């Protein structure tokens, strides 16, 4: 499993990356969590872009659905499952419970803003209520609403850089952050399976040379079709990126040139022998 930031990572100075972990999100534990750590490590190999990671576990937020006692068990399970993976991170890492957010100076003010927004803004009400309908089966509708409002207040209290495995945060959080011009910088990331690397057989180059020779005889439409075919041929052997395809195509051109030179030299020698035989026969 691999991970990458949806929009890359561009920072002017080393940052603290806050990873908010949803306890219901299976993409934030074990091998998938390790993929995120590997992403952090790879970026730091390019330069000291991330100085440390803070993991915020949303266990206590789950009390709206499962009660406080169960949240302690959920937290213990996550820590047990992921203890070994935390060692793979190349920068310092701290794990915080959801309660840490309550101690932030902005939290009380953020909570008041979100409560008033829910009372006074019909658009925000609609977003929250629609999301709550999707999660009300976990307890009841009001519990789901309370969960979402607290989640919005929490994100509004955070600043700096926050990562989460998605293209965006949920609609309620996004609306609240934009409404109050939050300084929070969201770094969405995606998880994907790394394609299996295949050994390129020698027949690949023969097929590629044949394709290149055909290009010299084709019109523009045929050239485009042949190029597409060559690209797909490379992809079928695990050569996906444009950079890798260009490198292999460069090798193909070199082999093609060598092939043409050999054929040309062979033809020249044969023509030279024929002329010599003709000359000898004429004056024999």
Residue 59: pLDDT above 90? yes
What is the number of domains present in the chain? 2
Among candidates 233, 247, 155, 150, which has minimal Cα distance to 198?
Answer: 233
Q: Are residues 213 and 145 in the same domain?
A: no
Domain boundary among 144, 159, 192: 192
Q: Are residues 99 and 50 in the same domain?
A: yes
d(CA 28, CA 164): 9
pLDDT band at 265 (very low <50, low <70, confident <90, very high): confident
Six-digit token pair at 48?
């000291």
In a domain, 250, yes or no: yes
Per-residue pLDDT, averaged over 123-131, amounts to 97
Domain that holds residue 214: 202-274
pLDDT band at 224 (very low <50, low <70, confident <90, very high): low
Residue 173: pLDDT above 50? yes
Per-residue pLDDT, averaged over 167-194, amounts to 96
Domain boundary among 192, 216, 242: 192
Per-residue pLDDT, averaged over 126-146, amounts to 97
pLDDT for 280: 45
Please tell me the number of Cα atoms within 13 Å of 79 on its side-chain side. 15
Six-digit token pair at 239?
């050569």
Q: Are residues 250 and 181 in the same domain?
A: no
More confident residue, 64 or 235: 64
In a domain, 260, yes or no: yes
Six-digit token pair at 129?
């209520």
In a domain, 197, yes or no: no
Per-residue pLDDT, averaged over 200-216, amounts to 63
Chain mean pLDDT for the chain: 86
pLDDT for 200: 60
Per-residue pLDDT, averaged over 5-21, amounts to 95
Q: Each residue of 146-158: pLDDT tens digit?
A: 999 999 999 999 9
Asked which of 44-53, 74-83, 200-209, 216-225 is least confident by mean pLDDT, the reply is: 216-225
Model-level pTM? 0.69
Q: Each residue of 88-124: pLDDT tens digit?
A: 999 999 999 999 999 999 999 999 999 999 999 999 9
Domain boundary among 192, 212, 234: 192
In a domain, 281, yes or no: no
Q: Are residues 206 and 187 in the same domain?
A: no
pLDDT for 223: 59
pLDDT for 282: 46
């Amino acid at each position: 499993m691999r991970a990458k930031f949806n929009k890359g990572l561009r920072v002017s100075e080393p940052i603290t990356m806050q990873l908010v972990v949803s306890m219901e999100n299976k993409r934030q534990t074990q091998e998938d969590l390790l993929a995120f750590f590997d992403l952090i490590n790879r970026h730091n190999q390019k330069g000291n872009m991330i100085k440390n990671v803070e993991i915020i576990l949303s266990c206590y937020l789950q009390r709206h659905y499962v009660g406080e006692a169960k949240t302690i068990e959920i937290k213990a399970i996550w820590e047990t499952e992921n203890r070994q993976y935390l060692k793979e991170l190349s920068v310092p890492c701290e794990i915080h419970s959801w309660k840490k957010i309550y101690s932030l100076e902005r939290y009380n003010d953020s909570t008041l803003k979100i409560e008033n927004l829910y009372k006074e803004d019909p658009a925000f009400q609609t977003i929250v209520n629609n999301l709550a309908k999707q999660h009300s089966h976990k307890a009841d509708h009001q519990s789901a609403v309370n969960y979402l409002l607290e989640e919005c207040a929490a994100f509004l209290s955070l600043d700096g850089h926050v990562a989460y495995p998605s293209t965006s945060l949920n609609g309620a959080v996004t609306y609240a952050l934009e409404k109050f011009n939050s300084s929070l910088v969201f770094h969405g990331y995606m998880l994907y399976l790394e394609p299996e690397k295949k050994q390129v057989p020698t027949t690949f180059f023969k097929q590629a040379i044949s394709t290149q020779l055909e290009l010299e005889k084709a019109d523009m439409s045929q050239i485009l079709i042949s190029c597409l075919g060559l690209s797909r041929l490379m992809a079928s052997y695990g050569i996906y990126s444009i950079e890798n395809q260009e490198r292999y195509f460069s090798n193909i051109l070199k082999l093609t040139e060598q092939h043409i030179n050999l054929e040309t030299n062979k033809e020249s020698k044969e023509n030279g022998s024929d002329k010599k035989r003709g000359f000898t026969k004429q004056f024999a």
